[in-house]
Amino acid sequence: MFDLTNPVFHDEDKARAHLEEQRWPNGPECPHCGERHAVTKLEGQKHRKGLYQCNGCRAQFSVTVGPSSSVRVSRCISGCWQRI
């Protein structure tokens, strides 16, 4: 099942990288308009880590924002509740 010694569970950056790999195997995709190519990673102290900007619709997003992760989280929650 889960390997809790895996660094993705202890390091925020590694966890984010892991999530990005799972969700965007071909690179980041805008959850608002679906843009895949014109996406810029926002870096520097002014931006929180893992933030991207879509050059198509100008929206900012991260791997934890958007419909896919919401669905996954709600599935996880309902799955956990069923096991209790």
Binding site for Zn ion (CB under 5 A): 30, 32-33, 35, 54, 56-57
Q: Tell the smallest beta-carbon distance from residue 30 to Zn ion (Å).
A: 3
Q: What are phi and psi of 73, to 5 degrees?
A: -65, -45
Q: Tell the smallest beta-carbon distance from residue 40 to Zn ion (Å).
A: 11
Q: Which is nearer to Zn ion, 6 or 55 (CB)?
A: 55
Q: Which is nearer to Zn ion, 8 or 60 (CB)?
A: 60
Q: Which residues contact 39 (CB under 8 A, 6 or more apart)?
A: 27, 28, 29, 30, 52, 53, 54, 55
Q: Which is nearer to Zn ion, 15 or 60 (CB)?
A: 60
Are 61 and 39 in contact by the 8 Å Cβ rule? The answer is no
